[in-house]
Amino acid sequence: MNRLSHRLDRYVLATFLRHWTVVAAAFLGLFTLLDLVGKSDEYGQSADLYGPVASEVVRLYLVNLPFLLAQFAPYVTLLAGLASVLSLRRVSEWTPMLTAGRSTLRAFLPIFAAALVMGVLMLVMREALLPRLLPERAALTSRLVRQEAWEPQNVWLRSLDGRRLHCALYQPLATHRPGAASGLDQADAVPTMVGLEVFGLSSLGQDRLLSADVARWDGVGWELENGFLITLGGVTDRQPVARLDGPGMAPADLERSWFGQHQPLELSAADYRQLLARDPGHRQAATLAWSWWLAPWHHLILLLLGLPYVLRFERGASMEGLAIGLLLCSTFFVAEFLFHDFGDRGLVAPWLAALAPTLLFTGFGLRALQRLPT
């Protein structure tokens, strides 16, 4: 009996993994194709300006695949679970499982376990891979779609010692600029800030402003061009400054701060911790940090909401249940968006903004399990 149980588990698991692979490939292929068609004119303009760019376009979409997968993974898990249940029902393979004495919840267990594993793997990918790909994707997108270098403007950064840094223009490594693919002088491969201003306080509590026309990274700190430190007090003091040093002012910190302002959903847990270390009142980072840890559970919530409605043996009930399950899952994402917005605005605590939709719809999912046939 134990051997039969393991065989049934492997069969259900294999069915789910097969559908997960097919659905994931369909999602990635479809959205990549739609994006390629939609931006074909921009790529043509880039080819006219730079020459052949086919290899860079391919590189852009390869770099973008992990981001698409991380974004759509919960939907992939949901659709793979629904497709698995429907395919096994269509060939009447649920009936012998249930009549043999196995509960429906126990029969779903391999799907639930695989969904949690998939959620954890997506979390590992988001933490280890996506932060390293963000600058390259931004540079390729800017080069191929807008025909310009990726040079973020009006970048703000709070250092670890409490100073506020602002630069009018940040130029990353030369490898992130147009023309780098064909080779640039290595002397240009230096992160550079243009129009630098750093606001802080002196040891006596006086306001201080450090300004420079240009700041170039030398691997340890920033070499300043036309740098001055102005101390405001009873008498304004203006002194020339040649370097800017301090904790938390490296190029990676500038890029993290820019992505935190423009693409916060794609940061890692380590990035959120860095943002909160610099600014404990950063409500969006706090909310997203809580939500980051709950992301694997979202895969399971969607299955709890969807599967009980599709495993129905009455004629036509499965299709009706499929619509109900998809509607409930859509409602979960709407609720999650609304609560995150409440957390960003300070209407609710960050932990509550992340936990509330998860706990609420987990309850709905557990309630839906009572609809399972036995």
Confidence of residue 318 (pLDDT cuts 50, 70, 90): low
Residue with tokens 């370097």: 243
Give the pLDDT confidence of 277-301 residue by residue, as tens digits.
888 888 999 999 999 999 999 999 9
What token pair was written down for 111? 């799907």
**pTM of the model as a whole:** 0.83
Q: Could you report the per-residue pLDDT of 77-100, keeping only the tens digit for each?
A: 998 998 888 887 776 666 666 666
Domain boundaries of the chain, sorted by first residue = 2-134+286-371, 152-277
Residue 373 has pLDDT above 80, yes or no: no
